[in-house]
Each structure stands twice: as C-alpha cells, then as structure tokens.
Structure 1
Amino acid sequence: MPPRAEAAAAYLQAFVLSGVAAVLLTRAYLQATGYPQLGGGGLHIAHVLWGGLLMAAGLGVALVFLGGAARMTGAILGGIGFGLFIDEVGKFVTTGTDYFYAPAAGIIYGVFALLVVITQAVRGRTRLLPAERTANALDAVLGGLINGLTDRRRAEVLRLARGSGALTEAAVAGLLDAVPRREPPPPRFWQPWLARLRRFVIGLTAQRWLVSLVVVYLVAEPALTLIGVLLDGVTGALDQEREWGAVLGVSASALVTAVLSVTAAFRLRRDPVDAFRLFKLAILVDLLFGQIFNFTVNQFGAVTAVGADLFLLAVVTAEHRQLRREAERPASAPGAPRTG
C-alpha cells in the first residue's frame, strides 16, 4: 500500500469546502441573474462541463508538480470543479434533465455530508507508521528545494523523521541541510481578524447561559417540528406537499432527535457527560440525516438550518469536552473556573 499523506485530511477538507462554496455561489449567481444560458442557437454550455475541466486541471496540478502546495491547489481546483458538477445532478437523475428537480438539493447536501464524514474519519485515524512519516518528511524536503523551508517547517520535518532509526534520521537531517532557508511569510491582513473571531467563538461557547439555551432549544425544536407536521396534516396543508417522502424523512429525523434530546435532558443531573454525548448525537442525526430531507422540502433555504446546527454542535462539543476533562481530573485537583 502506498504511504499515506500526513495532510490528507487538510486536502480533503479544502476539496469539500471549495465544492460547497462553488455550489452556493453558483446557485446564488444563477438566481440573481435569472438563470442565463451560455451559448446560443440551440447550444447550451452547462456548467457541469466547466466542472469537469476544473477537476481535470486540479488532477493535472497534483500529478505534474511536487509538494504540498501543489496538492492543496489541486484539491481546491478539483473541489470547485466537483461543486459545479454535482450542482447539475438533477439533470442526470431525471428523464427530463430537470435542473430544478426538488430532491437534487438533498442529494447534493447528502454527498457533501458523506465527504465530511470521510474527512473526519481520515483526520481521526491518520496515525502514520514510521516509514510513512519518513516518506512525508522526504516529500516536504523535496517540496522545499526550490523556494526553501521555514524554521518551523524544518522542525516539523525532523519531528516526522523521529523514531525511524538513527541512520534514517541522520539522512533526513543531512538532506534538510541542503534545502535553502526561507523567512516565514508576513501575516495576512485577515489573520488577526480570524484569530479574534476564533477567540470570540471559543469564549461564547463556554458561556453557561448559552449552553442552557442550547439545551432548551434541542429539547423543544424537534418536538415543535413534529407538532407542526401534525397540524399541517390536520388542516390539510400537507395535501399541497409534493415531496411526501421528504416530509416523512424530516418527521422521522425529528422523532429520533426528540427521543435523544429528551433522554439527554433526563440524564443531565445524574450523568452530564453522557447527556451531552446524547445531545451531540441528536445534532449529528439531524445534520447527517434530517437535513437531507430538509433540503428536498425547502431547497437551498435550508442552508440557514445547517448553519444553526453547526453552531449548536460547536457549543455542545465544547461543553462535552469540558465535562469530560472535569470528570477525568483527579478528585484532589482544584476545579477549573467556569465562565458565565
């Protein structure tokens, strides 16, 4: 088996994020411009063709050039191309080549949700063997022969080679000495703002009032969704719904989420760690299952619901980690102060 790339998860993440951005920007542009067609006289240049071209370009960059920068560039180009390709999936699952086929939005979301799951699986299981770490160290050395390596990257290369044997470590260090040194690039204008935003979000997720509000929302929201579906059925509003399968999917997801959230609420006092594990599971059920059907029903208006779910997941995950740290701390150790 070929050696695995240390930054595989980062490349996959760039692929997914650029693909998602391509779909959202394409849909926003087409809606704002009235869905124009490139071509004339019966000729229609579908953007799936541009997607194929960009995927080929991304693959070409990764095949022709060495180094992590080339792989990252290829991942981004390929992700944009894949986004343009999957955006037209409705044309290829219907006999009438219907771009506006309602389940297409759910299919697109489901594909990217699966890619996110794969990315997280790679991130969590990329424990490289010593030979693979050495291969990654040598790959970094090759990538730095032209433009050089910063001191920080040099330290990372030596860390990768550590544990591979004295001879191999000495060989890698000798090769590294032949690579020119490069000064670290100046900070980008947006990096301080991004750091401030990160600190703000981390501080916000630790607020006790916000955690309590999230708990109440997680218990109430799926129950209200089920009540809304039942009321629509009683009043006859569901008679106008064309995607009955998607409505049933949303209802089933809300039911599972409600059971998990209510169970978690009852366990809060007795076992808060397990309670927040169940809250996290409830959000993941909605993200990975319910939102597929939500996109089918509400189309790309469901993007806001996904954003809300991601924020809830961040709050719950942060609280779960904090509770686990407190549970694993020795009883004699002083408790860490909680914000709020």
Structure 2
Amino acid sequence: MGLPVGRDPAGRARAELFLISAVVTVLVTRGYLAATGYPKIGGDSGLHVAHVLFGGILMLVAMLLVLLTFGSAAERLASLLGGIGFGLFIDELGKFLTSDNNYFFQPAIALMYVIFVIAFLAVRLAPPPRQPQPEVCLGYAYTALADASLGRLDTVHRRHALELLAGCEQDSEVTAVVELLSRERAVPEGRVTRAGRWLLRTTQRLLLTRVAQWLVIAVFVLQAIALIADVVVSVVEQDPGVSTSSNFVDWATALTGLAVGALSVAGVVQLIGRKRLAALRTFHLAMLVSLLIGQVFLFAESQFNALPDLVFNLLVLAALRLTLSAYEARAAAGS
C-alpha cells in the first residue's frame, strides 16, 4: 500500500531551488569565514554560537511556512529558506564526524559534494508517471486556483495546469476546473522571467553555430590532452612512500581522468565524422563521469581548490545540455 500522496508536477523546480540555494550558502559561508579570519559569534565570552543553529531556525521557518500557508509563492519561499538552512547545517559536517569538532576535516567537502550529487540525481532521475492521474492533475490545477485567489497566478502556471488537465481523463469536475482556470486573469510574466527566457533562447541559437561547434572540439581536444598527460605524469612521479589512502585518491583521479579523456577523444572523432548527435551524447557522458566521479576525488584531495574545475565542468555541461536538446528536437521533428 503506497503513501496517500501525489507527485507535484512543480515539485522538481522547488527541489532544485532548495539544492541550489544550499550549495550557494555553503560556498558563501566558507568564503565569508575565510575572508574574515573565521570569527566566532560570542567572542571571548566562552560561548560559541555555531551557524548550524541558524540553519536549524531557517529550516523550522520553512517548515512552518509549508504547514501554515498556501500558494506557490509560499512554497518557493520555503524552498529558498529551507535550502539556505540546510546549507548552513551541512557546512558544519566536519564537526559532526570528528571527536574534536574539526570544522576543517578534509573529507567533509567531498562528503558534502556526494550528498548534493545524490540529492540532485534523486530529483532529476525520478521517473515521471507515464499517464498523469486525474487526482494529480486536479491537485495541481487547484493550486493554480489558489494562486488566482491570491492574485498571484502567472501565465506559465495556468498554461501548465490546463495542459495537464487536457491530458487526463475528462469528467464533469475536470471540465469545471478548466472553465474556472480559463476565466481567471493571469499575472503577466515579470521582466526577470522574460529576460531569462530570452537569454536561454539566444544562448541555444549561439551554441548551434559552426563557431560554437569548433569551440566545443577545441575544449574537448585540450581537455583530452591535459587529462591524459596528467595521468602519465602521475604514474611517472608516483612516490611509493605516500600513504595508501593518498595513493588510492591519486589513482582514482588518474583513472577517471583517463576515462574522461578517452570519451573526449571518441566524441571529437564522431564530431569530425559528422555524427553530431552521437558526439554530443559522448561529450555529455564525459562531463557526467567527470562531475559524478572525478570531482569527488578532486574535492577529497584539494577541497575548495577544486571549485574552479567544478564551475568549468558545470558550464560546459549546461552548454552541452542546451545543444543536445536542440539537436534531439530537430531529429524528432525530422523522423
């Protein structure tokens, strides 16, 4: 017997907001503490108010928002505050894992990264229902009507609700809700939303140009050369006196780099052979291997010094996702 709940079609976006705000909070917190010399709230009074307490308070506020209010705006605010609170909590992971409350426990950064990756994969890879259930469609539509009662119903929310209702089994209740939603006046999209959509479309068009494709080839060729060269140097300069744990991290990093380099070479060969869709999928796989496996060992070894590499990989992955979705849409339209 399953839980008496339905999956919210807008839940993925809120979960991603939660995770993004948590990651940004960790980065901002660590950066601020490093820049200010790790000050303590409480000073020399003998008290130390850890920021995990503020994280707990924010998560409590987020929970109370969900329990005491309604409307998508309140849900988004709860996701944001809950993510900030979770970021403040997880940032002190090293203290929870060591007997001496060591905030600088080296594996903590890698463990944080693994936790965020697992959470992100759970959100992104959860299979959507094959056929929307009528109760799920109606539940989402009623949240749209709740927003309308608050004067906060936007065009995207209404359109999505109407599309869901059109795809489920029609009955008198569905018809009545469709009529109500169709009559409700939606709030126009804000300037920020419109600017974001324009930026997304413009970026996608630029990524489909020939210049962008040659840049992709250049990036992955250079990456393949750098990674394979790094593996060779690591093997040649390996010090047998280094501890087993360090050897393991070095070898794991080297093998992951070799795999990413090999995939990059394979993708370049496919792209030169005009197999663009296959090449993009290979490049995408290379970035996923780097992010989901290689980056863990980089954080374990270098901690936040691995952050620039993470940012670069995320930017490349985002560009690949946009380009890949455009090519897949073209392939689907041509079939």
TM-score range (shorter-chain normalised) is 0.7 to 0.9
Cα distance in 1 for residues equivalent to 2:112 and 2:144: 35
Amino acid at match of 2:177: V
Cα distance in 2 for residues equivalent to 1:228 and 1:153: 49
Partner of 1:334 in structure 2?
none
Cα distance in 1 for residues equivalent to 2:162 and 2:147: 15
Deviations 1:65-115 (A, max 9, x none): 112122111111110011011111111222322111122111112222222
Partner of 2:289 in structure 1?
285
Matches within 5 A, 1:64-213: 64-122=68-126, 125=128, 128-147=132-151, 149=153, 153-162=157-166, 163-173=168-178, 184=187, 187-188=190-191, 190=192, 194=196, 197-213=199-215
Mapped pair 1:28 → 2:31: yes
CA contact (8 A) 1:4 1:132 kept: yes
Cα distance in 1 for residues equivalent to 2:40 and 2:23: 22
Partner of 1:300 in structure 2?
304
TM-score, normalising length: structure 2: 0.84
TM-aligned CA distance change 1:267 to 1:149, over 3 Å: closer
- Which is worse superposed, 231-240 or 57-66? 231-240
TM-aligned CA distance change 1:49 to 1:238, over 3 Å: farther
CA contact (8 A) 1:38 1:45 kept: yes
Structure 1: gaps (5+ residues): 332-340
TM-score, normalising length: structure 1: 0.83
CA contact (8 A) 1:250 1:293 kept: yes
What SS does the corresponding residue of 2:99 show, helix, strand or coil? coil
Deviations 1:229-261 (A, max 9, x none): 543564578978984443233212112212222
- Give the share of equivalent positions with the same residue, in percent: 32
Partner of 1:63 in structure 2?
67
Cα distance in 1 for residues equivalent to 2:268 and 2:156: 46
Deviations 1:240-299 (A, max 9, x none): 898444323321211221222223333331743222211110111101111111122222
User: Which residue of 18, 23, 39 corresponds with 2:21?
Assistant: 18
Mapped pair 1:254 → 2:257: yes
What SS does the corresponding residue of 2:56 show, helix, strand or coil? helix
Cα distance in 1 for residues equivalent to 2:7 and 2:172: 22
Amino acid at match of 2:260: T
Cα distance in 2 for residues equivalent to 1:107 and 1:213: 34
Structure 2: gaps (5+ residues): none
Deviations 1:33-59 (A, max 9, x none): 000111143221111111111111111
Amino acid at match of 2:219: Y
Amino acid at match of 1:48: V
Cα distance in 2 for residues equivalent to 1:97 and 1:240: 27
Partner of 2:321 in structure 1?
317
Amino acid at match of 1:228: D
Partner of 1:335 in structure 2?
none
Cα distance in 1 for residues equivalent to 2:266 and 2:318: 20
Give the paired residue count: 327
Q: CA deviation at 1:61?
A: 0.7
Q: CA deviation at 1:26?
A: 0.4
CA contact (8 A) 1:206 1:315 kept: no
Cα distance in 2 for residues equivalent to 1:86 and 1:171: 46
User: Which residue of 230, 233, 256 corresponds with 1:231?
Assistant: 233
TM-aligned CA distance change 1:253 to 1:3, over 3 Å: same
CA contact (8 A) 1:273 1:320 kept: yes
Amino acid at match of 1:36: P
Cα distance in 1 for residues equivalent to 2:307 and 2:92: 18
- Which is worse superposed, 237-246 or 71-80? 237-246
Q: CA deviation at 1:19?
A: 0.4
Cα distance in 2 for residues equivalent to 1:213 and 1:25: 32
TM-aligned CA distance change 1:42 to 1:86, over 3 Å: same
TM-aligned CA distance change 1:186 to 1:72, over 3 Å: closer
| RMSD (CA atoms) | 3.1
